[in-house]
Every structure is written in C-alpha cells, then in structure tokens.
C-alpha cells in the first residue's frame, strides 16, 4: 500500500497506451477487451445500501418519498438519499451497470448477479449491537449472504467462472458511523468500553470481516474511513449544549473519528502486507470536513442541518413529506433545482444530478501530484493544467458525482502496482481523429 512517485516517463507511456487504445477502438473489427473489473460488491450501512432493508422487517427504511427524488426513475428505491449511492457511480464508472442492486431482491437474474450486488444494510455497523438496535442486517449475516451468493453462482455458472469473477471484483466496505453515534448518544457500550477500547473492538470486528472476504477470494478491497462524526446533524443536535441555536461541530466526536481513521489506516497497512490482497483506504473525513466548513465555496448553503424535516434528527420514516417543519414544497423544490443542503437526512450526504452545475465542488488539485492551477471550467468537468517538463502541457477533467471519493479509490485498484490519485478524461485533438477517453491519474513509477 505504499505510495510511489509518478515519473514523467511513466505518464508518457500511459498516454501512449491510451492513444493506441483510442485508435484500436476506432477499428470496428477490433475485439472488445475484457473489463478489468468484473463486479462490484458492497458491505456496510446506509452509505452502501440500495434497498436491502426493503426486504426485512425493520423501521429503518427509505422506500417512500421524498427519498429518490433525483434518482433516474424519480422514485424511492430504499437508498437513504435523493439520488444514487457512491457504489452506483462506481459500477457505472467501470462500465458494469448504472446501479448496484440489493442482494435480497429476488427478481435479479443471473446476468445482474454476476456483475455485483450490495449486501449492505442501512443502520448497521461493525458492532452487532448496532444492527440489533436497528433491527437490520449485521455484518456477519452480510458475509453469510455473500456465501449464499457464491453458492448460487457455483450452481449456475460453475466454480471456475465464479472464481474469475471474484478475483477481478472490487469489494467496498463502509460502516462504523452508526457504531460511534450509538456509543456517543446511548449508554450501553460506554458501560463496557472506554472510547479507545471501543475503537479497538470495532477494528477487530472489521478485521474479521476482511479475513472472511479474503478467505472467500476477495483480492481488491476498498475500506472507507469515518466522516467527521461531530459535524453530522444528529450528533450536533444530541450532543451540543444548545443544538437548536448552536450548530457548530462537536470537536470531541470529530477527534474520535480522526483517531479511529488513523488506527484504521495502520491496520490496513499491516493487513495488506500480511495478505496477498490490495486494500485501499478511502478518506471520507477530509473532503467532507472541508465541504462542511466552507459550503458556499462548493455551491452549498447549509452544512449544519439535513434537508428533511427540521434537519435536526430526521431520517427513515421521520423523513417524509409530512415531517414537522419540513416546508416540503419549498425544500422539495430546492432538492430538485438548487443543491443547498450538504446533508439529505441526519447523517447521509446529498447527491444530485445537478451537481454538474457546481463545477468547483470537487477540485482535487490539492490531492494530485504535478498539478498546476485550475484554469477553466466547462460543466460537468473540472479542468486541471498539468505541466511536465518544458514540452508537455496537458489538461485533465474530473467529475465528482458524490462528495464521497470512493469511486476514485475503487478505480485505483484496477492498475497494479499503482495507487490512484484521480480519475478523469483526457481529450485528444479532434482534428487528428482522436476522441475522448477516460483515464486515471496515478502515483507510481515505471520500474
């Protein structure tokens, strides 16, 4: 998992390969190359759940309006947001499908199953008690569902084809937020664990999940860190001395997230060296914290409340067209026209098709090496100037469909042994017969 240094010769080689690929694609008889990603599988909480909770007996559901307003069907799907989840975008980015379906949907055909499903359950966490409180699917059961899925593939397409799918698949794990919200707001775990002890307990349960995935053939895994929990609307409401008038982030809770993420990175670093598996840590904390601290810089107005209801505690059935204080007509129009709220409900960030109208929202120039200044914008792309030496000046376009950067980390798993730093599109001169092609900006060397 070490980060290498990008050399000019490697980038030039990458561009040459892209150019040749473009020319090859122009030949109608050229065979279609195998997609380096066969499937996407997701495990975790509401950040990954596309509707599994629709199929279980739980109050923690979102299969009703106003959820799904900006989904392409404009209908609620069980996703705890107004549009797509980050794993939907990831599946689309790698050319598999436009949305990642829930594993519990019995109507899925084998072709749909072969390209990936989500096993996640909104309200879940690495602590079994978290799932028990919400009446949702705990992590061990999510892993069991994955085992059932593998058995179904074995029966349908055979073990060899199934093994190839799993070998080339991307696994995404995102959970932990609900665990620490429960620890912060409920006394149950605080009676048994110090915060340091609870962090260790959560990390141990994560390690068990990773071990299980690796034992079942997973080789490429993305693990998301915690967001700044102290800035989540529900935590501000419950933990602030005056949660109505003072909507400042709760710094002790943010410190817990920061410390956990540091320990998580250390665990993943050590685990990756012990196992023949690529594990990438996805930083959620820093980009979201920047967005919360400077919402207007990125085209938002409100980073202190959710869009549903009063914006203080609403989620699930409390987030509905009749929610107290929601002013649903006014706020609903904002959901469909102007993205003014960072959060959709009390914990999950908002996503919309109209993100394209805010081109500066996801400037990654501070995360990418050899980047100059942001020179101009043409939605939906952010164009970046890259100067290599005296003769090579390039422009890259970056898209951000979600404030979470998991798609970038996921795509980084495709190129070995490189670590991803960005995802974009390079436009070659049209007058020379070239088109536009998706590329990766990476750190690596040419050895």
For the segment 27-76, what is each residue's pLDDT rounded down to a tens digit? 444 455 566 889 999 999 988 999 999 999 988 887 776 677 777 777 78
Residue 322 predicted with pLDDT over 70: no
* Whether residue 20 is found in the same domain as residue 51: no
From edge to edge, which strands make up the β-sheet containing 220-224? 40-44, 170-174, 220-224, 278-282
* Whether residue 19 is found in the same domain as residue 121: no
* Whether residue 377 is found in the same domain as residue 431: yes
Q: What is the CATH number of the domain that holds 140?
A: 3.40.50
Residue 89 lies in a domain: yes
For 162-204, write each residue's pLDDT tens digit.
Answer: 999 999 999 999 999 999 988 988 888 999 999 999 999 999 9
Last residue of a domain, one of 287, 306, 338: 287
Residue 326 lies in a domain: no
**pLDDT of res. 272:** 61
Q: Which two tokens stand for residue 180?
A: 């620490």
Residue 307 banded pLDDT, cuts 50, 70, 90: low
Residue 23 predicted with pLDDT over 50: no
Residue 424 lies in a domain: yes
* Whether residue 147 is found in the same domain as residue 188: yes
CA dihedral 264, 282, 108, 134 (to 10 degrees): 50
* Whether residue 22 is found in the same domain as residue 60: no
The residue with tokens 């529900």 is 234
**pLDDT of res. 280:** 87
* Whether residue 367 is found in the same domain as residue 277: no
**pLDDT of res. 8:** 34
In degrees, rounded to 5, the angle at the alpha carbon of residue 176 between the alpha carbons of residues 247 and 290 is 45
Mean pLDDT lowest for which of 60-64, 210-214, 279-283? 60-64
CB environment 335-371: b (16+ within 10 A), e (fewer): beeebbbbbbbbbbbbbbbebeebbebbbbbeebeeb
For 234-245, write each residue's pLDDT tens digit.
Answer: 787 776 665 455
| Under 8 Å between Cβ of 238 and 269 | no
* Whether residue 27 is found in the same domain as residue 152: no
* Whether residue 250 is found in the same domain as residue 221: yes
Residue 405 lies in a domain: no
Mean pLDDT lowest for which of 58-67, 141-150, 293-302, 426-435? 426-435
**pLDDT of res. 422:** 40
**Which residue spans within 283-391 are E strands per DSSP?**
302-306, 341-343, 371-378, 381-388
Q: Rounded to two decimals, what is the model's pTM? A: 0.69
User: Which residue, among 371, 366, 417, has the nearest Cα to 10 in the 3D structure?
Assistant: 417
Helix (H, G, I), strand (E, B) or coil at 397: strand
Mean pLDDT confidence for 7-23: 37
User: Strand 278-282 relative to strand 302-306: parallel, antiparallel, unpaired?
Assistant: unpaired
For residues 406 and 293, the model is more confident at 293
CA dihedral 342, 364, 381, 6 (to 10 degrees): -160
| Under 8 Å between Cβ of 222 and 409 | yes
User: Strand 381-388 relative to strand 392-398: parallel, antiparallel, unpaired?
Assistant: antiparallel
- Is the four-CA dihedral 433, 437, 442, 444 of positive or negative sign? negative
C-alpha pair distances (Å), 34 with each of 95, 216, 439: 11, 23, 16
**pLDDT of res. 301:** 59
**pLDDT of res. 445:** 35
Last residue of a domain, one of 265, 287, 309: 287
Instruction: Provide the total of helices (H) and of strands (E) in the chain, helices listed first.
Output: 13, 11
**pLDDT of res. 256:** 96
Residue 276 banded pLDDT, cuts 50, 70, 90: confident
Residue 383 predicted with pLDDT over 50: no
**Burial class of residue 265, CB neighbours in 10 A (0-12, 13-18, 19+):** middle
Residue 229 lies in a domain: yes
Q: Work out the percent of the chain whose per-residue pLDDT is above 70.
A: 54
Q: How far apart (Å, rounded) are the C-alpha atoms in residues 432 and 245?
A: 60
The total domain count for the chain is: 2
Residue 283 predicted with pLDDT over 80: yes
For residues 272 and 421, the model is more confident at 272
Q: How far apart (Å, rounded) are the C-alpha atoms in residues 371 and 263?
A: 30
**pLDDT of res. 430:** 36
* Whether residue 19 is found in the same domain as residue 49: no
Residue 226 predicted with pLDDT over 60: yes
**pLDDT of res. 33:** 56
Half-sphere exposure of 15 toward its Cβ, with a 13 Å CA cutoff?
A: 15
**pLDDT of res. 314:** 43
| Under 8 Å between Cβ of 136 and 60 | yes
Residue 100 predicted with pLDDT over 50: yes
Q: Which helix (H) or strand (E) holds 279?
A: strand 278-282
Neighbours of 251 (CB within 10 A): 12
* Whether residue 89 is found in the same domain as residue 21: no
**pLDDT of res. 200:** 98
Mean pLDDT confidence for 360-366: 33
Residue 435 banded pLDDT, cuts 50, 70, 90: very low
Last residue of a domain, one of 287, 308, 339: 287
Residue 17 lies in a domain: yes
| Under 8 Å between Cβ of 315 and 345 | yes
Domain that holds residue 383: 8-32+363-398+415-443
Mean pLDDT lowest for which of 270-284, 316-330, 369-383? 369-383
Q: How far apart (Å, rounded) are the C-alpha atoms in residues 257 and 230?
A: 8
* Average pLDDT of the residues of the chain: 68
* Whether residue 16 is found in the same domain as residue 102: no
Mean pLDDT lowest for which of 4-8, 88-92, 440-444? 4-8
Q: Work out the percent of the chain whose per-residue pLDDT is above 90.
A: 34
**pLDDT of res. 269:** 85
Residue 149 banded pLDDT, cuts 50, 70, 90: very high
**Burial class of residue 220, CB neighbours in 10 A (0-12, 13-18, 19+):** buried
| Under 8 Å between Cβ of 172 and 43 | yes
């Amino acid at each position: 998992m070490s980060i290498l240094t990008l050399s000019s010769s490697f980038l030039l080689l990458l561009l040459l390969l892209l150019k040749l690929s473009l020319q090859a694609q122009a030949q109608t008889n050229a065979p279609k190359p195998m997609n380096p990603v066969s499937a996407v599988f997701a495990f975790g909480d509401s950040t990954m759940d596309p509707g599994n909770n629709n199929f279980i007996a739980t109050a923690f559901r979102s299969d009703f309006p106003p959820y799904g307003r900006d989904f392409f069907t404009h209908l609620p799907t069980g996703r705890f947001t107004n549009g797509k989840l980050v794993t939907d975008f990831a599946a689309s980015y790698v050319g598999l499908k436009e949305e990642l379906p829930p594993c519990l949907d019995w109507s899925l055909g084998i072709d749909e199953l072969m390209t990936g499903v989500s096993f996640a359950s909104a309200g879940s966490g690495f602590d079994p008690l978290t799932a028990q409180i919400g009446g949702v699917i705990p992590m061990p059961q999510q892993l069991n569902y994955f085992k059932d899925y593998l058995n179904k593939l074995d029966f349908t397409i055979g073990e060899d084809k199934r093994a190839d799918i799993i070998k080339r698949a991307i696994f995404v794990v995102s959970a932990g937020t609900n665990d620490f919200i429960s620890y912060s707001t409920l006394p149950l775990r605080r009676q048994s664990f110090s915060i340091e002890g609870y962090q260790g307990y959560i990390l141990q349960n994560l390690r068990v999940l990773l071990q299980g995935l690796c034992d079942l053939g997973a080789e490429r895994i993305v693990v998301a860190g915690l967001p700044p929990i102290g800035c989540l609307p529900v935590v501000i409401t419950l933990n602030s001395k005056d949660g109505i008038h003072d909507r400042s982030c709760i710094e002790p809770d943010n410190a817990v997230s920061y410390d956990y993420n540091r320990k998580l990175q250390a665990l993943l670093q050590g685990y990756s060296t012990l196992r023949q598996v690529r594990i990438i840590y996805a930083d959620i904390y820093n980009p979201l914290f920047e967005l919360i601290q400077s919402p207007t810089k990125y085209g938002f107005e409100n980073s202190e409340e959710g869009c549903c209801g009063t914006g203080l505690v609403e989620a699930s059935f409390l987030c509905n067209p009749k929610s107290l204080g929601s002013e649903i007509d006014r706020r609903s129009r904002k959901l469909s026209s102007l993205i003014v709220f960072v959060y959709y409900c009390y914990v999950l960030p908002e996503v919309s098709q109209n993100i394209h109208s805010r081109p500066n929202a996801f400037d990654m120039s501070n995360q990418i090496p050899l980047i100059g200044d942001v020179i101009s914008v043409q939605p939906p792309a952010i164009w970046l100037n890259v100067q290599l030496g005296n003769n090579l000046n390039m422009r890259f376009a970056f898209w951000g469909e979600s404030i979470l950067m998991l798609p970038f980390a996921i795509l980084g798993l495709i190129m070995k042994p490189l670590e991803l730093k960005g995802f974009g599109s390079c436009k070659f001169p049209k007058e020379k017969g070239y088109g536009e092609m998706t590329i990766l900006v990476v750190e690596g060397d040419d050895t």
